[in-house]
Amino acid sequence: NLLLFVLVLGSALYLVRTQYESRLLYTALDRAVAEARRLETEHQRLQVEKRAQATPLRVETLARAKLQMHTATPAITRYVSDPLPAAGSAEARP
């Protein structure tokens, strides 16, 4: 009888420990799923923000304001030509 009692008690303690570990694992899994959802939402928000920052109008506005750039016109465009195009191409050929 004593051996049976010890075995039943050991089995009960093992069952309690297993249930406790199972609850801990389920809680950790639930936290990980919540974190994954949060990160996915953050990723989507950052993608939207990235698209908003890269619009052509915004880029042009920042180029004008911060870099003092302006649209190229024929009046301010300088065309550069190679003074010796034949000599340069002859040296490049083997």
User: What integer pLDDT is reported at residue 12 of this predicted model?
Assistant: 98
Whole-angstrom CA distances from 37 to 11, 25, 26, 32 are 39, 18, 17, 9
Q: How far apart (Å, rounded) are the C-alpha atoms in residues 34 and 26?
A: 12
User: pTM score > 0.75 for this model?
Assistant: no
Q: Where along the chain do its domains lie?
A: 2-69
- What sign has the CA pseudo-torsion 50, 53, 57, 59? negative
Reading the chain (94 residues) residue by residue, the pLDDT tens digits are 999 999 999 999 999 999 999 999 999 999 999 999 999 999 999 999 999 998 999 999 999 999 999 888 888 888 888 887 665 555 555 5
Q: Under 8 Å CB-to-CB from 69, ≥6 apart: which residues?
A: 63
Q: How far apart (Å, rounded) are the C-alpha atoms in residues 9 and 3?
A: 10
User: What integer pLDDT is reported at residue 90 of this predicted model?
Assistant: 53
